[in-house]
Amino acid sequence: MSGTSRDIIAGLLSAADIEIGGAREWDIQVHDDRFYRRVLSGGSLALGESYMDGWWDCEVLDQFFCRILGAGLDKRVKGLKNVLWLGFRAWVTNMQGKRRAYNIGEKHYDLGNDLYQAMLDRRLNYSCAYWNGARDLDEAQEAKLELSCRKLGLEPGMSVLDIGCGWGAFAGYAAEKYGVKVTGITVSREQVALGRKMCLGLPVDIKLQDYRDLSGRFDRIISIGMIEHVGFKNYRTYMDVVDRCLAGDGLFLLQTIGNNTSGRRGDPWMDKYIFPDGMLPSPAYLARAAEGLFVTEDWHNFGTHYDRTLMAWQANFVRNWDRLSRDGKYDGRFYRMWTYYLLSCAGAFRARKSQLWQIMLSKNGVRGGYVSVR
């Protein structure tokens, strides 16, 4: 049985020009023959778990994933039971309902501020950077923040709402550079604690709050990398909240990772180990959610910049691993899990399977037309 399983896996990988035991950096080395049957029965979840268990290795994981996704191998596992179960669960249950609102904060963003401080830029942006002309991660993330402020047309004295503010990177930058007052919300207690320290002395208020509980009126609203946790059953509710809180002549900037096609589930491995209940929106989902509420003024795709951002995060993670692992809080299995997460995502963006959009929305259309900023 194991030989047959090996032949099937080898045949699938050959379509992506990947060899088992090959000498190229994107070829895989299998250390446990149980790997083949495990992956055939368990799909992407088994592929990730077997890597975490040390059953196989690849010198350059990002290239491995770019190749398998570019060859469409992910489409060949859609009938596997773990994928079908996730789809069924998402259909019958609101996995991102209010009762579970703080789940992602507790399981991912509260892992430890030390981890994110070791991996991210100095302002702690946990989203795609903008690399046009930037020499390093700090410059690229500041370029993204500056780009976002210019797209919003910020002016001193404006009130700004940041939905999913993280550690306050945008809030602090906008308040410091543009003289605006920012209210930020997050579902992570760790982000609130550190974000308030990082924005100390600035007109920034960071709160632990679910987006559905928002009230008030703001001149501008921004949401960077948060709608990936909202779910297809709640997209309209999310847009209703933005509509309720945005001034009549206001602008809304939505930044999100996106899928090329509409789906109702996330990847099984990513759902279990990294982003529980996560789901990437498609253009169709977002357009339907905004219909009748907003005018789409601009749609900017710079998904190729996320590949470079993820590779920079991985380099920081590896460089600081000795310090992170010193007290045993993060072990060797965590190292393999986190590496798999970062590099598989980099491969997905490189293969153009994942996108990164900044979408500008207005309530009634900008008089004379919105001038796109790049």
Task: Please provide residue 356's backbone torsions phi and psi, each rounded to the nearest 5 degrees.
Answer: -130, 120
318-to-168, 242, 370 alpha-carbon distances in Å:
25, 39, 42
If asked whether residues 102 and 41 sit together in one domain, one would say no
Does some domain include residue 82?
Answer: no
If asked whether residues 147 and 41 sit together in one domain, one would say no
If asked whether residues 109 and 138 sit together in one domain, one would say yes
Per-residue pLDDT tens digits for 217-239:
999 999 999 999 998 999 999 99
Does some domain include residue 89?
Answer: no
Task: Please provide residue 258's backbone torsions phi and psi, each rounded to the nearest 5 degrees.
Answer: -135, 155
Extended beta strands in the chain, E state = 28-30, 56-58, 159-163, 181-186, 204-208, 218-224, 246-259, 295-301, 354-362
pLDDT at position 33 is 94
Residue finishing a domain among 30, 46, 77: 77
The answer to whether the CB of 293 falls within 8 A of the CB of 335 is no
**Residue 133 structural domain:** 98-362
If asked whether residues 67 and 114 sit together in one domain, one would say no
Q: What whole-number distance in Å separates Cα of residue 306 and Cα of residue 228?
A: 15
Q: Which residues contact 20 (CB under 8 A, 6 or more apart)?
A: 6, 9, 10, 13, 27, 28, 29, 30
Mean pLDDT of 197-214: 97
Per-residue pLDDT tens digits for 285-328:
999 999 999 999 999 999 999 999 999 999 999 999 999 999 88
The answer to whether the CB of 163 falls within 8 A of the CB of 225 is no
Tokens for 167, please give them: 């550690």
pLDDT at position 122 is 98
Does some domain include residue 109?
Answer: yes
If asked whether residues 118 and 193 sit together in one domain, one would say yes
Q: What whole-number distance in Å separates Cα of residue 232 and Cα of residue 212?
A: 15
pLDDT at 80 over 60: no
Q: What whole-number distance in Å separates Cα of residue 194 and Cα of residue 179?
A: 22
> Residue with structure tokens 């993204």?
144
Q: What is the pTM of this model?
A: 0.92
Does some domain include residue 102?
Answer: yes
If asked whether residues 306 and 215 sit together in one domain, one would say yes
pLDDT at position 101 is 59
Catalytic residue among 149, 199, 245, 345: 345
If asked whether residues 234 and 107 sit together in one domain, one would say yes
Query: Sign of the C-alpha dihedral, residues 170, 175, 179, 182?
Result: positive
pLDDT at position 3 is 52
Q: What whole-number distance in Å separates Cα of residue 42 and Cα of residue 46?
A: 5
Per-residue pLDDT tens digits for 97-134:
555 557 788 889 999 999 999 999 999 999 999 999 99
If asked whether residues 228 and 294 sit together in one domain, one would say yes
Q: 356 - beta bridge partners?
A: 257
Does some domain include residue 301?
Answer: yes
If asked whether residues 119 and 260 sit together in one domain, one would say yes
In the structure, what pLDDT confidence band is assigned to residue 77 with cuts at 50, 70 and 90? low
Q: Which residues contact 251 (CB under 8 A, 6 or more apart)?
A: 151, 152, 153, 220, 221, 297, 360, 361, 362, 366
Does some domain include residue 374?
Answer: no
If asked whether residues 194 and 325 sit together in one domain, one would say yes
Q: Which residues contact 313 (CB under 8 A, 6 or more apart)?
A: 119, 120, 137, 342
If asked whether residues 165 and 275 sit together in one domain, one would say yes
If asked whether residues 22 and 106 sit together in one domain, one would say no
Name the average pLDDT for the chain: 92
Residue finishing a domain among 77, 110, 143: 77
pLDDT at 76 over 70: no
For residue 203, which amino acid is it? P
C-beta atoms surrounding 24 within 10 Å: 12
Does some domain include residue 273?
Answer: yes
Which CATH number is 169's domain given? 3.40.50.150
Q: Which residues contact 222 (CB under 8 A, 6 or more apart)?
A: 148, 152, 160, 161, 162, 163, 170, 252, 253, 254, 255
Does some domain include residue 58?
Answer: yes
Residue 345 annotated as catalytic: yes
- Of 97, 104, 252, 100, the closest CA to residue 191 belongs to 104
**How many domains does the chain divide into?**
2
